[in-house]
Chain A
Amino acid sequence: MQPFFEATDYFPADTDGRVEAMAKVTGKAKYSAEYQAPGLCYGFFATSTVAAGKIVSIDTTLAKQADGVIDIITHEHKPLVPGLADETKIRESRFGLPVFHTDKIYFKGQPIALIIAETLEEATYAASLITAIYHAETHNIDFELSHPKVALKPDGKERGSLQAWQQAPRMVEAEYTIRNEVHNPMEMHATIAHWTADNKLKLYDKTQGVNNVQRTMARLFGIPNDNVEVMSEFVGGGFGSGLRVWSNTLAATMGAMQVKRPVKLMLSRPQMFMLTGYRPQCWQRVKLGADENGKLLGLYHQGRNSTSMYENFSEGFTRECRLIYTVENLKTESATVPLNLSTPTWMRGPGDCSGDFAIESTVDELSYLLKMDPVELRLKNISNEKDPETGKPWSTNYLSECISRGAERIEWKNRPTGSGQLTDGDWKIGYGMAVGMWGAGRQNASAGIKMQKDGSILVQTAMTDIGTGTGTGIQNVAHDSTGIPKNRIKIELGNSSLPPAPSQGGSTGLSSITGAIAAVCNALKQKLVDYATVVDNAYKGMNIADLLISETGISARSGNAPSISFTVLFDTNHIDTIAVEASAGPGDERQKFSFCSSAAHFCKLRVHTKTGKVKIERMVCTVDAGKVVNSKAAANQISGAAVGGIGMALMEEQNADNALGSLLANDLAGYHFAVNADAPIIEVAFINKPDFNSNPSGAKGIGEVGIIGCAAAIANAIYNATGKRLRDLPITPDKVLMG
């Protein structure tokens, strides 16, 4: 059996941390708002105080008289962005909120003016002096009242028929609801926009994808991609909020154009609740039928999620139920509900995370109905061999192994089979589990290597590292492919002028980039063989697999080619550096196989019977993410995701006050996510079996499966402890007591 990595022992002794660790612990790491530019001035948004309607007029008189104010941008006073010039262009731009290019108000908190001033204090103060008159219209931000009025539509292919299993011997059916959740990365979204020449733009922007920002801004401003340079070397978290280009990036760029100086715009924390997306509120209904032995016969999953008035965002939460179990009859339906809120966006485990809560709660409920161990029920129905949706074989899928190992780890055998059986004073104790899956994608990516005369290399790609450990993963793969010692491999990331790469999201980052790294390492080796041939003909035609790279030079694994030092190699060829670039992407293996990452989450918790407080005692996550490229960073990802799952299950909620058209939470006191004391030490284990069809490194995506399933595992444990089946997230103490 593979060793179980624990929180305390998952560090291989040979590493001394991430490539960027030093920068991060010394405060030297620079995030988007932390750069200097000549003549830098500050922007701050003034936002709408109504939730729907039109701006009649904006009064900037007072604000203009405040000290330090340079200019104020509104929809009436702005540099026109060509890509948003009229309604048609706005629609075609797919930019989302056409900030300052419309008088329409879609939600409360929508930016109506950008104040640009000499200092942050001056801009912030002047923003408070902006007033506007609106033609307010009736708004609607009430999801609960609105969603039943929206008709559901089929999504995805129906399997079998709904009628076939309506007489199933065992049937469970229930509704589930989840409130809005907000990403709230610790770093607020920020942009420094600098027009370095008439049509040349330089942006420091908090984003998960510099090339996406580059393309978007080039398109909007009608300039070539190459004229836009976007930097995001350090990104203070994203969780999906950095996958789109938001109003702060556009507004700062407009501001810089207007005042002909670089402008820094950092959103305030309250603005982070309105302007950078969120996981939408949803309603779901699941009906699940089985025979007496627990074989699943049919599944019917329906759901609706909220969206904005100006864009449609569909969560896709009915995807998850199609992945995990063998179910012959399956039907899914969904719909979106437009409200006067900003547009939601992908948030960690988007769709699947919400869908999984409903599905995995239902499966748990079925297990009690069947009087069957939920572990056994799952093992019986999991589709181990093939993707139940496409019928293609899984390239690899070790979900069942995840379940068995997790069960062993948490000592599942100690779990009381009925609910409410284990007590300790005023506490009730329970065990719960759930599984999660995520399609393991891969995209085209490219990377470059520059080798110096001393034999050290710099690996470059535009991909960002939002905290996942991409840089370290790249270093590991480059080391494995070339043999160059890690301390001689430097990494440069997050700049659009480097070889292009996809945005870091959907758990595809490492999977995409490692292919490019492997390819560029091969390109380097080929180049070295070519140059070596100039020095000594014995290298002619050498297979790159036979090339060895050491600290001092190159040699051949076998045969009679002599060792060549880097000095000789570079001097003989009259070169100072060797530069190579390569791209790689998915191939036809994607036609042959289906790809997934999967995880089993186990939880042991206690519930206080008098206060309703839930205390998580243990959380065990066993994960199949292919080969683990860096066990330290990977375990950190999973434990961090589980902490997110605890938040989702127990505390994270954005509520709406429809009377005022306001969202209630707009700061970190009003919106709780898990603090250190809310989480136990998360126990993480990996199956760690490579999937070489996925990419040359054998790794599969890891960012999402850590959270998908956590909420259900916790809700299921609460049921085991108390006998209360709580279907409305988050499960706050009031719901525990009233349930």
Chain B
Amino acid sequence: MKKAHTHSRRLFLQTSSMLASLAFIPRSVKAFYLETRNFLVASKKTGSLAVSVNKKLYTVEADTRTTLLDLLRENLQLTGTKKGCDHGQCGACTVHIDGKRVLSCLTLAAMVPGKEVTTIEGLSDGEHLHPMQQAFIECDGFQCGYCTPGQIMSAVACVQEGHTHSVTEIKEFMSGNLCRCGAYNGIVEAIQKVAS
């Protein structure tokens, strides 16, 4: 037999269901029970956040554990920003914060009030595509399209950062954005096109 939990946790678990069924619980026992529960089960904390995304201000009540990525996708329904790993390892969630590329899965929502977040939905200027979006279309810089918003946000930053002097340099500075479809040919070409 393998046991997966600690002694105190086990004791708590055994007694908690018993306690719940007793009508009259001495105050001290109840206090102990609640204290232990609170120790073992963290309760949810929320806060009101004012977040500016794509130049629009959203006031949301969010869980303190919510990442910017989940805030965008689940709370604001801005699903253009993708979740590929949730661990800062793939770049699918890349957004711009104050014009710099940032991984939104490694950014807590609580960190962004007062800053300007730009996502793929805010990249185009009204009906006009950003030149990088246009270049991705022309160069077929994607297949399934799932890494694409992250690639485009990174690509825009890559050009701004001036890391586009050679194919090698582009490839190096775009290597934080994984593409399992392997559409790297088109991605590089799109960046070259915009940079020139």
A451 in contact (CB, < 8 A): no
Size class of B's contact patch? Answer: 35 or more
* Contact partner, B41, options A33, A129, A266, Cβ 8 Å: A129
Is the beta-carbon distance between B3 and A673 smaller than 8 angstroms?
Answer: no
A8, B185: Cα distance in complex, Å: 9
Is the beta-carbon distance between B4 and A49 smaller than 8 angstroms?
Answer: yes
Is the beta-carbon distance between B181 and A640 smaller than 8 angstroms?
Answer: yes
A645, B6: Cα distance in complex, Å: 46
B7 in contact (CB, < 8 A): no
Q: How many residues of A contact B (CB 8 A)?
A: 85
| Residue-wise interface mask of A (395-418) relative to B, using a CB-CB cutoff of 8 A (1 in contact, 0 not) | 000000000000000000000000
Given known contacts A125-B65, A131-B5, A188-B83, A65 and B41 CB-to-CB distance under 8 angstroms: yes
Is the beta-carbon distance between B137 and A22 smaller than 8 angstroms?
Answer: yes
Is the beta-carbon distance between B4 and A56 smaller than 8 angstroms?
Answer: no
Mostly, the B contact residues are loop
4 more A-B residue pairs beyond the given contacts A23-B145, A28-B121, A136-B2, with a C-beta to C-beta distance below 8 A: A67-B43, A133-B3, A269-B86, A676-B174
Q: Quote the shortest CB–CB distance from B94 to chain A (angstroms).
A: 12
Given known contacts A25-B148, A186-B146, A269 and B84 CB-to-CB distance under 8 angstroms: yes
A43, B2: Cα distance in complex, Å: 27
Is the beta-carbon distance between A266 and B180 smaller than 8 angstroms?
Answer: no
A557 contact set on B, CB distance < 8 A: none
Is the beta-carbon distance between A186 and B79 smaller than 8 angstroms?
Answer: no
Q: What are 24 pairs between A and B in contact, CB < 8 Å?
A: A7-B185, A7-B189, A21-B136, A25-B136, A25-B152, A26-B129, A27-B119, A30-B79, A49-B2, A56-B1, A61-B16, A66-B42, A121-B44, A129-B40, A135-B1, A236-B144, A237-B144, A237-B180, A639-B182, A639-B185, A677-B168, A677-B175, A681-B167, A682-B185
Is the beta-carbon distance between A467 and B129 smaller than 8 angstroms?
Answer: no
Within 8 A of B (CB), among A1-30: 7-8, 11, 16-18, 20-30
B171 contact set on A, CB distance < 8 A: 676-677, 679
Is the beta-carbon distance between B184 and A679 smaller than 8 angstroms?
Answer: yes
Residues of A within 8 A of B (CB): 7-8, 11, 16-18, 20-31, 33-34, 36, 49-50, 56, 59, 61-62, 65-68, 119-122, 125, 129, 131-136, 183-188, 234-239, 266, 268-269, 466-469, 632-633, 635-637, 639-644, 667-669, 673-679, 681-682
A668, B87: Cα distance in complex, Å: 9
Residues of B within 8 A of A (CB): 1-5, 9, 13, 16-17, 37, 40-44, 63, 65-66, 70, 73-74, 77-87, 89-90, 92, 119-121, 123-124, 129, 133-134, 136-140, 142-149, 152, 167-168, 170-172, 174-189
Is the beta-carbon distance between A668 and B85 smaller than 8 angstroms?
Answer: yes
A249, B184: Cα distance in complex, Å: 31
Is the beta-carbon distance between A186 and B185 smaller than 8 angstroms?
Answer: no
Is the beta-carbon distance between B80 and A26 smaller than 8 angstroms?
Answer: yes
A266 contact set on B, CB distance < 8 A: 83
